[in-house]
Amino acid sequence: MTYRAPISEFRFLFDHVVGFSQVSETDRFAEATPETVEAVLSEAGKLCEDMLAPLQRAGDLHPARLENGVVRTSPGYDEGYRAIAEGGWIAIAADPEYGGMGLPMTMTSAVNEMMSSACLSLQLAPLMTQGQIEALEHHATDEIKALYLPKLIAGEWMGTMNLTEPQAGSDVGALTTKATPNGDGTYAITGQKIYISWGDNDFTENVCHLVLARLPDAVPGTKGISLFLVPKRIPDANGIPGVANSLKVVSLEHKMGLHGSPTAVMQYDGATGWLIGKENDGMRAMFTMMNNARLGVGIQGIGVAEGAYQHALAYAEGRKQGRTENNSITDHADVRRMLATMKADTFAARAIALANAVAIDMETATGHADWSARAALLTPITKAFGSDTGIDVASTGVQVHGGMGFIEETGAAQYSRDVRVAAIYEGTNGIQSMDLVGRKLMDGGEAAYRLLDEMEAEAEAARAKRPDLVDPVWQACETLRETTEWMVAHGAQDRFAGSVPYLRGFARVLGAHFHLRAALADPDGPHDRLAAFYIHRILPEHVGLLAHARQGAEDLFAVSVDDLAA
């Protein structure tokens, strides 16, 4: 599988679509000049093309496995992770005090996307570590930071997230893992965690687990959860990993895809842990990590979409069929439709994700509540629409290949199998949608309306120039506004009954907004033509989605569980 890093497309989006110049104009991110962006993306892109992309198929064919309690990773993953670490790509946004580069999340997002295109199962390792670094930066003591952050940032140690238990999936509050004070400031952690991505490996000298658990006197539910850092090997004061902690990998899962990523069942038997943040305040610290991870998982979807698109386009261009022998199947109308849809949807999802990252960077740089509200609003949309786009584009990639798509050697099927989990982990897309219509509209819709005001104002300003594109976008914004008003005016059950189509409809309309920007910045260019394709052909989907979103709960729950089983 060859992969070409889409550097110039990132530059176009940074410069013309997602307003990255705002970020580089802040004091906090003054170093993120166009030259730095170009250098960082080119360097990371080269690593992804040359070093990581060739690992993708090896990871699928030779899954990580557990041998006598030791996780053996896929061939080449050791060297791959080292190369990521040596390039400094584990965490370019991390604090320079601990070895990071302090660069914007927007740039991290582009780098993460390229790594996801090249080899998703390996990219999950730095992604998990990034989330841990951010959680520690925000919530750990200076001592913990000094001990752990340099190792994590340098890639000498790896980080994991431990939330889920067999009886506590989306319902995190039901978890039962126990944390008992040892009397010396540490805690003894006991319990079982499942679905632990990169729960162990055979190439970093330590693995650091962030584990949600309950103190002995904790109240039930999410308010009685605390967060602990539990290293595989307990480091001494100099950061040398010593004694093995009381934890182990019980088993690895056999998964539909992402075979190169070891997904562990972890057992903690009185393992020594350090409290991160305050007692019973673990969910807050966890959300720092989760929000990072949710953006990251949306971007995984986009990365796979890009990889699967390039792969399908290369196949289609090489596939001669039909009467005119020189033409490839790209000249068949439906193949052209599939490829254009893949590209247009990838553009929309990428623009949303990068705009989300820009909002995070502006929040970091300015501390302004409007930016944090914007980031909070966009995060569930990025996660769900990014992962859904990855799944849809990869499936279309299989279809473009015809019969070859179903044959594993081709590689199209692997994209489809690997990315399927992105709609599930870090909060299913159903949970993302509930977050959007629940928590994210609890401001009475203020953040959503502010975004819609901007979208409509921009459309208005461009109306005279491009009525063919502006009219449908403006009308779609109005429908989204009315649906948002409906959501704000209705109770939780009614909102939840339409939450998934609402999120999808929101993303469709927001995607059109960014396509319009791109068209205006590239008149008569490729982005203009792709925007016309999206706005005239794909955007109309929002009508059905938003009509569904406004139906309320009654019709839905009228279909009883008995009816379902009838």
Per CB under 8 A, the list member of 408, 454, 471, 482 interacting with a second copy is: 408
Whether 363 is catalytic is no
Q: Is 544 in the site for a second copy (CB under 8 A)?
A: yes
Query: Can you give 529-561 as a three-state secondary structure string?
Result: HHHHHHHHHHCCHHHHHHHHHCCCHHHHHHCCH
By CB under 8 A, name the one of 256, 457, 461, 489 that touches a second copy: 256
Residues 6+ apart with CB under 8 A from 114: 5, 6, 41, 44, 45, 48, 303
- Pairing of β 206-213 and β 157-162: parallel
Alpha carbons 540 and 512: distance in angstroms, whole number: 10
Rule CB under 8 A: choose which of 261, 292, 433, 483 binds a second copy: 433
Of 426, 446, 460, 482, the active-site residue reads 426
Q: What is the DSSP letter of 328?
A: B
Residue closer to a second copy, measured from CB, 272 or 499: 499
∠ Cα 289 292 297 (to 5°): 115
Region binding a second copy by CB under 8 A among candidate stretches 64-72, 151-159, 204-212, 250-258:
250-258
Count CB atoms within 10 A of the CB of residue 98.
Answer: 19
Does 171 bind a second copy (CB under 8 A)? Our answer is yes
Interacting positions 173-192 with a second copy (CB under 8 A) = 174
- Closer of 249 and 258 to a second copy (Cβ): 258
d(CA 64, CA 472): 49
- In single-letter form, the type of residue at position 175 comes to L
Choosing from 56, 164, 204, 272, the residue that interacts with a second copy (CB under 8 A) is 164
Cβ burial, residue 2 (10 Å; 0-12/13-18/19+): exposed
Q: Which of residues 21, 33, 42, 170 is near a second copy by CB under 8 A?
A: 170
Do 472 and 512 contact (CB within 8 A), yes or no? yes
To a second copy, the closest distance from the beta carbon of 546 in angstroms equals: 9
Which CB sits closer to a second copy, 206 or 310? 310
Residues 309-328 interacting with a second copy (rule: CB under 8 A): 313, 317, 321-322, 328
- Closest distance of CB 505 from a second copy, Å: 10
Min dist CB 194 to a second copy, Å, is: 7
How is residue 177 written in tokens? 């893992």
Distances (CA, A) of 116 to 65, 266, 301, 419, 546: 22, 25, 8, 10, 31
- Could you tell me where the DSSP H helices lie in 420-489? 429-437, 446-462, 467-489
Nearest CB to a second copy, comparing residues 107 and 431: 431
Q: Site mask, a second copy, residues 492-511, x = CB under 8 A? A: -x--xx-xxx----------
Closest to a second copy by CB, 301 or 405: 405
Binding region for a second copy (CB under 8 A) out of 46-54, 200-208, 329-337, 445-453:
329-337
Name which of 100 and 262 has its Cβ closer to a second copy.
262
The one segment of 112-120, 147-155, 249-257, 291-299 that binds a second copy by CB under 8 A: 249-257
Residue from the set 240, 244, 407, 461 that interacts with a second copy by CB under 8 A? 407
Of 64-72, 73-81, 453-461, 543-551, which part binds a second copy (CB under 8 A)? 543-551
Contact string 333-362 vs a second copy (x = CB under 8 A): xxxxxxxx--x-------------------
Considering the complex, what minimum distance in angstroms separates the CB of residue 334 from a second copy?
4
Q: Is 20 left (phi over 0), alpha (psi -120 to 50) or beta?
A: alpha
Contact set for a second copy, span 547-566 (CB under 8 A): 547-548, 551, 553, 555-566
Query: Would residue 19 be called left, alpha or beta, if left means φ above 0 and alpha means ψ between -120 and 50 degrees?
Result: left
Helices (H), 87-161: 105-118, 120-139, 142-154
427 torsion bin: left (phi>0), alpha (psi -120 to 50), beta (else): left
For residue 225, state whether it binds a second copy (rule: CB under 8 A): no
Neighbours of 551 (CB within 10 A): 14
Establish if 532 lies at the interface with a second copy (CB under 8 A): yes
Residues 257-276 binding a second copy (CB under 8 A) are: 257-258
CA atoms within 13 A on the CB side of 471: 5
Nearer to a second copy, 86 or 331 (CB): 331
Cβ atoms of 382 and 511 within 8 Å: the answer is no
Q: Does 542 bind a second copy (CB under 8 A)?
A: yes
Q: Using CB under 8 A, pick the residue from 109, 130, 162, 416 that binds a second copy.
A: 416
DSSP secondary-structure letter at 230? E
Nearer Cβ to a second copy, position 81 or 502?
502
CB count within 10 Å of CB 239 equals 15
**Nearest residue to 209 (alpha-carbon basis) of 295, 253, 273:** 273
464 DSSP β-pair partners: none
**Total of residues contacting a second copy (CB under 8 A):** 90
User: Does residue 169 interact with a second copy by CB under 8 A?
Assistant: yes
Determine which residue in the list 90, 189, 211, 421 makes contact with a second copy, applying CB under 8 A: 421
Q: Is 18 helix (H, G, I), strand (E, B) or coil?
A: coil
36-75 residues near a second copy, rule: CB under 8 A: none
Shortest distance (Å) from residue 335 CB to a second copy: 7
For residue 399, state whether it binds a second copy (rule: CB under 8 A): yes
Choose among 414, 357, 417: nearest CA to 382. 357
Q: Would you say 142 or 409 has its CB closer to a second copy? A: 409
Active site residues: 426
